Amino acid sequence: MTPVRREKERFAEQKESRSRDRRRLPSAVSMALGWTGAALGVYAVEWGAHGPFAGASRGVVALVKIAVIIVAGAIYARTARRVPSGLVLTSGIAWLVFSIAADVITGIGSASAYQLLGNPTAVSGILRGVTILAWLSAPALLARGGLPIERREDFRRHR
């Protein structure tokens, strides 16, 4: 391959990369939208468990909620490419904090609390723990292709 052709291909790749970066949402917005989609999916599963699928077991409902969270995390991880790996890992903590806050807010004066995390009295402790773990790990579970975490001189090892 000639040097001119290689240079043209490199220029085309850079141009395509820049155009992809311009169409991306800011990472905080993407994280919030991912959590919102997951939360709405979990609320839809809970609504279905009280409505059309009222005969479904609470264990099955909890497993479907976990699947919804993981699918939403996979979609978020797909949109979070070319984002520093640390941010994708931190988004799992944010998703868990958002879920706890939403459960606390919706649980005030309501009999239907704990829809996002799972009711500690209705479902086995194992499924509730797995649900919490799913909120924490779903964004980073299928993440790949992130940018490396940059180390600065401040964090050098001193001997």
Express each pLDDT in 72-98 by its tens digit.
Answer: 988 888 777 667 777 777 888 999 999
Q: How many domains does the chain have?
A: 1
Given a contact cutoff of 8 angstroms between Cβ atoms, the answer to whether 127 and 65 are in contact is no
pLDDT at 29 over 90: no
Can you say whether the dihedral through the CA atoms of 90, 92, 96, 99 is positive or negative? positive
- The mean pLDDT of the chain is 78
User: Mean pLDDT over residues 58-62, rounded?
Assistant: 86
Higher pLDDT residue, 114 or 66? 66
Evaluate whether residue 158 is within a structural domain.
no
Given a contact cutoff of 8 angstroms between Cβ atoms, the answer to whether 137 and 77 are in contact is no
Side-chain half-sphere CA neighbours of 39 within 13 A: 18
Q: Which domain holds residue 92?
A: 25-143
pLDDT at 99: 92
Evaluate whether residue 150 is within a structural domain.
no
Residue with tokens 């904090």: 97
Evaluate whether residue 33 is within a structural domain.
yes
Evaluate whether residue 123 is within a structural domain.
yes
pLDDT at 28: 81
User: Mean pLDDT over residues 117-141, rounded?
Assistant: 81
Given a contact cutoff of 8 angstroms between Cβ atoms, the answer to whether 138 and 65 are in contact is no
User: Mean pLDDT over residues 49-63, rounded?
Assistant: 85
pLDDT at 127 over 70: yes
In sequence order, what are the beta bridge partners of 60?
none
Neighbour tally for 33: CB within 10 Å = 15
pLDDT at 158 over 70: no
Evaluate whether residue 124 is within a structural domain.
yes
In sequence order, what are the beta bridge partners of 147?
84
pLDDT at 58: 82
User: Mean pLDDT over residues 106-119, rounded?
Assistant: 74
Residues contacting residue 31 through CB under 8 Å, at least 6 positions apart: 76, 80, 91, 94, 95, 139
Evaluate whether residue 7 is within a structural domain.
no
Burial letters 69-87, b for 16+ CB under 10 A, else e: bbebbebbbeebeebebeb
